[in-house]
Amino acid sequence: MMELVCPAGTPAALRAAVEAGAHAVYCGFNDETNARNFPGLNFNREEMAEGVAHAHARGAKVLVAINTFPRAGDQGLWHRAVADAGAAGADAVILADIGLLAHAAEKHPGLRLHLSVQAAAANPDAINLYAESFGVKRVVLPRVLTVDEIAAINREIDVETEVFVFGGLCVMAEGRCALSSYATGKSPNMNGVCSPASHVAYAEVNGAQEARLGEFLIHRTPKGATAPYPTLCKGCFSSPDAKGNDQVGHIFEDPASLDATHLIPALQKAGVSALKIEGRQRSRAYVAQVVRAFRAAVEAADRGLPMPESLLAKLTEGQASTTGAYAKIWR
């Protein structure tokens, strides 16, 4: 059976994920070493050790994401995170930075290494380099590949692949997106935050809800209409057309979340080892509902049964879902 890797932003979400059937839970420390460094979120050292013990007692693994890029002269914070994850009993650490991978491979040879999606390793040569140089055992593939491309990669590598099947969808190559940095000076790569809450402002203006990121008006939503996250890539902007009239639209991508439930059998056939659910910033209500649904889907795929109908639309950004790049339906 493919491994179901589920998000947890808090100890309560970790327990919810395990109880809902997660084979593995991924989480991070409450600092900028992980790419979901949001206010009130994540685990201190004690909570991490307790979370690992809770998961292990119930047969689930814990993978610790330390997937931002260390700052020059301040690598100690990231080194300590790797050491503390190992001490807490983590089953693997999820890393993106090549220097941190080298450090972990050298100083913690017994610790299993996964390559974060933030490393954006999207071809066999890149993946094999990480595997041969640092002993990486699993690669989380960026969300820019088709199912056929994933199958082609799996034929040329010896490590496991993990792919996203549900949740917020980055439309850029992960780890290489500078939009949040451009708007706010902070990015998921360096600070662990895309569109940090500290730079987001909502206001009701003339009966509509306006969302601003830094100095940019991201979107103006009529009252009661569906709203997306305040990220530049999902923003709705206006620009003058050839006649000087305002044209309004989503420049990069419509606000929609990934839901690849129906592609699970194809991903299994393509040699994928693990399926990942996005959403460490979401509540335990989200975690419980999504994990339950995907555990049922993974079990159905394992028995060759049809995929269940997804009932998760209301949990998705923009209340709409897409199969993203897997089926290449980009406009």
Here's the x/- map for other proteins, 166-205, by CB under 8 A: it reads as ------------------------------xxx-xxxxx-
Which of 9, 324 has the CB closer to other proteins? Answer: 9
> Which residues, at least 6 apart from 300, have a Cβ–Cβ distance to it below 8 Å?
306, 307, 308
For the bound state, the minimum distance from the C-beta of residue 9 to other proteins, rounded and expressed in Å, comes to 7
| Spatial contact of 113 and 90, defined as CB atoms under 8 Å apart | no
Q: Is 224 in the site for other proteins (CB under 8 A)?
A: yes
Binding segment for other proteins (CB under 8 A), chosen from 68-76, 157-165, 224-232, 264-272, is: 224-232
Please give the biggest Cα pair distance in the chain.
66
CA–CA distance, 286 with 15 (Å, rounded to integer): 13
CA–CA distance, 67 with 79 (Å, rounded to integer): 12
What values do phi and psi take at 123, rounded to 5?
-150, 160
Q: Tokens 């380099």 sit at which residue?
A: 129
Which of 123, 319 has the CB closer to other proteins? Answer: 319
Answer for which of 61, 138, 282, 295 binds other proteins (CB under 8 A) is 282
Answer for which of 11, 188, 214, 324 binds other proteins (CB under 8 A) is 11
Locate 185 and state its tokens.
């000076």
| Spatial contact of 162 and 114, defined as CB atoms under 8 Å apart | yes
Q: Is 225 in the site for other proteins (CB under 8 A)?
A: yes
**Beta bridge partner(s), residue 246:** 240
Burial of 251 (0-12, 13-18, 19+ CB in 10 A): exposed
Which of 155, 314 has the CB closer to other proteins? Answer: 314
DSSP labels for 26-49? EE-BSSTTSS---TT-SB-HHHHH
User: Number of residues in contact with other proteins, rule: CB under 8 A?
Assistant: 42
Q: Is 4 in the site for other proteins (CB under 8 A)?
A: no
Neighbours of 155 (CB within 10 A): 9
CA–CA distance, 157 with 139 (Å, rounded to integer): 10
Which of 39, 99 has the CB closer to other proteins? Answer: 39
Q: Is 311 in the site for other proteins (CB under 8 A)?
A: no
Q: Is 233 in the site for other proteins (CB under 8 A)?
A: no
Binding segment for other proteins (CB under 8 A), chosen from 10-18, 62-70, 95-103, 246-254, is: 10-18
Among the listed residues 239, 210, 206, the one whose alpha carbon sits nearest the alpha carbon of residue 227? 210
Here's the x/- map for other proteins, 30-59, by CB under 8 A: it reads as --------xxxx------------------
Answer for which of 26, 29, 78, 286 binds other proteins (CB under 8 A) is 286
Binding segment for other proteins (CB under 8 A), chosen from 6-14, 102-110, 143-151, 241-249, is: 6-14
| Spatial contact of 308 and 36, defined as CB atoms under 8 Å apart | no
For the bound state, the minimum distance from the C-beta of residue 129 to other proteins, rounded and expressed in Å, comes to 37
Amino acid at 300: A
For the bound state, the minimum distance from the C-beta of residue 288 to other proteins, rounded and expressed in Å, comes to 6
Which of 70, 196 has the CB closer to other proteins? Answer: 196
Q: Is 231 in the site for other proteins (CB under 8 A)?
A: no
3-state secondary structure of 204: strand
Q: Is 99 in the site for other proteins (CB under 8 A)?
A: no
CA–CA distance, 225 with 216 (Å, rounded to integer): 21
Which of 201, 300 has the CB closer to other proteins? Answer: 201
Interface positions with other proteins (CB under 8 A): 9-13, 16, 19-20, 38-41, 196-198, 200-204, 209, 221, 223-228, 281-286, 288-289, 314-319
